[in-house]
């Protein structure tokens, strides 16, 4: 494996079994994601995008094939090793932000640090610094309910970044936002979050943000149709 490969999926199959009805969400997926790139997963609803980033992020086990993230085969890790791997290496950004509603912005951002064992005061100090970087220096003490959608998503991005993970997975980070706000969020991800030792995998429907991608993997029906370098090639 070349040293600049961050994620390597081989023949990944995932079948959901809901009461006898089997749905093949991932059907023989091969995918390489390189260090330092912003990879987008695109495709129609139900094609398996969310399932794939769940496998890559180590929160869902595939049924067949292997998925190596930074050289580690997640399937072979023991439970606590996997938790530890996620805590240190993965940042999450969700469509619905998923901030803890009774925690302030700074407290929300500090959660990954606390999970990694940092003291609260130190963690919140670091979180506040990062909030400043994403333009929310004034809102560190606000509750999520007191923030706009775009602001909440920026808090969520700060939370995904704060522990300096090597992989950030985002599921539809802009779908709940208007075009302009979505654009700001993408700029933030591209400019602040992305650097040469980090990978961003972003699932999206939103064609208006395709041009932020370094590469785009087009999916359909559990397959990767093609991986292209720009939206024009789709």
Partner 1 sequence: MYHIALKMLMGDRGKYLGIVMGLTFASLIMTQQPAIFLGLMTRTFSFISDVGLPDIWVMDSKVQFVDDIKPLQDTELYRVRGISGVEWAMPMYKGMLKARLADGTFQTCIVIGLDDATLIGGPPVMLQGKLEDLRRSDAVIVDIDGAKDKLAKPSATPGGKTKPLQIGDDLELNDRRAIVVGMSKVSRTFQAQPVVYTTYSRAKNYAPRERKLLSFVLVKAKKGQDLAQLTKRIRETTGLAAYTSSEFKDLTYRYFMKNTGIPINFGISVTLGFIVGAAIAGQTFYNFTLENLRQFGVLKAMGTSNWVLLKMILLQAILVGSIGYGLGVGLTALFGYSMRNTILAFRFPWQLLIFSGAGISLICVFAAIISILKVIRLEPAVVFKG
In the block, residue with structure tokens 């805590």: 87
- 70 vs 210, beta carbon nearer Mg ion: 210
Q: Is 104 among the residues that bind Mg ion (CB under 5 A)?
A: no
Least Cβ distance, residue 116 to partner 1 (angstroms)? 8
> Which one of 4, 73, 76, 96 is in contact with partner 1 (CB under 8 A)?
96
At 61 the three-state DSSP class reads coil
d(Cα 18, Cα 215) in Å, to the nearest integer?
34
Residue 81 burial (CB count, 10 A): 12
Residues 6+ apart with CB under 8 A from 189: 38, 93, 157, 168, 170, 173, 200, 202, 212
Task: Print the binding letters for residues 23-62 with partner 1: x by CB under 8 A, - otherwise.
Answer: ---------------------------x--xx--x-xx--
Which one of Mg ion, ligand ATP, partner 1, none interacts with residue 18, CB within 5 to 8 A by kind?
ligand ATP
User: Quick check: 87 binds partner 1 (CB under 8 A)?
Assistant: yes
Closest Cα partner for 41 from 157, 206, 233, 182? Answer: 206
Cα separation, 105 vs 95, in Å, equals 17
Q: What is the footprint of Mg ion within residues 38-77 (CB under 5 A)?
A: 50
User: Which of 25, 69 has the CB closer to ligand ATP?
Assistant: 25
Could you tell me if 146 and 69 are in contact, meaning their C-beta atoms sit under 8 angstroms apart? Answer: no
Q: Which residue is listed with tokens 């979050």? A: 193
In the complex, the smallest distance separating the C-beta of residue 53 from partner 1, rounded to whole angstroms, is: 7
Tokens at residue 1, please?
Answer: 């494996």
Q: What are phi and psi of 65, to 5 degrees?
A: 80, 180
Residue 77 site contact among Mg ion, ligand ATP, partner 1, none (CB < 5 to 8 Å, cut-off depends on kind): none
- Residue 227 Cβ, how far from Mg ion at the closest point, in Å? 19
111 binds, among partner 1, ligand ATP, Mg ion, none (CB under 5 to 8 A by kind): partner 1
Among 101, 137, 148, 233, contact with partner 1 (rule: CB under 8 A): 101
Chain residues in the site for Mg ion (CB under 5 A): 50
């Amino acid at each position: 494996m070349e040293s600049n490969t961050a994620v390597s999926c081989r023949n990944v199959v995932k079948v959901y079994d809901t009461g006898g009805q089997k749905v093949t969400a991932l059907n023989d997926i091969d995918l390489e994601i390189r260090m330092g790139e912003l990879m987008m997963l695109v495709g129609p609803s139900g094609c398996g995008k969310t399932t794939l980033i769940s496998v890559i992020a180590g929160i869902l086990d595939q049924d067949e094939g292997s998925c190596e993230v930074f050289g580690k085969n997640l399937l072979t890790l023991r439970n606590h090793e996997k938790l530890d791997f996620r805590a240190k290496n993965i940042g999450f950004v969700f469509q619905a932000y998923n901030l803890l509603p009774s925690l302030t912005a700074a407290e929300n951002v500090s959660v990954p640090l606390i999970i990694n064992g940092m003291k609260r005061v130190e963690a919140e100090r670091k979180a506040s610094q990062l909030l400043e970087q994403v333009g929310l220096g004034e809102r560190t003490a606000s509750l999520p309910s007191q923030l706009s959608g775009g602001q909440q998503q920026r808090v969520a991005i700060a939370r995904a970044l704060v522990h300096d993970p090597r992989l950030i997975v985002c599921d539809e980070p802009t779908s709940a936002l208007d075009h302009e706000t979505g654009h700001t969020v993408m700029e933030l991800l591209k400019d602040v979050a992305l650097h040469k030792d980090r990978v961003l995998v972003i699932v999206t429907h939103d064609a208006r943000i395709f041009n932020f991608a370094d590469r785009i993997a087009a999916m359909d029906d559990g397959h990767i149709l093609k991986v292209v370098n720009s939206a024009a090639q789709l």
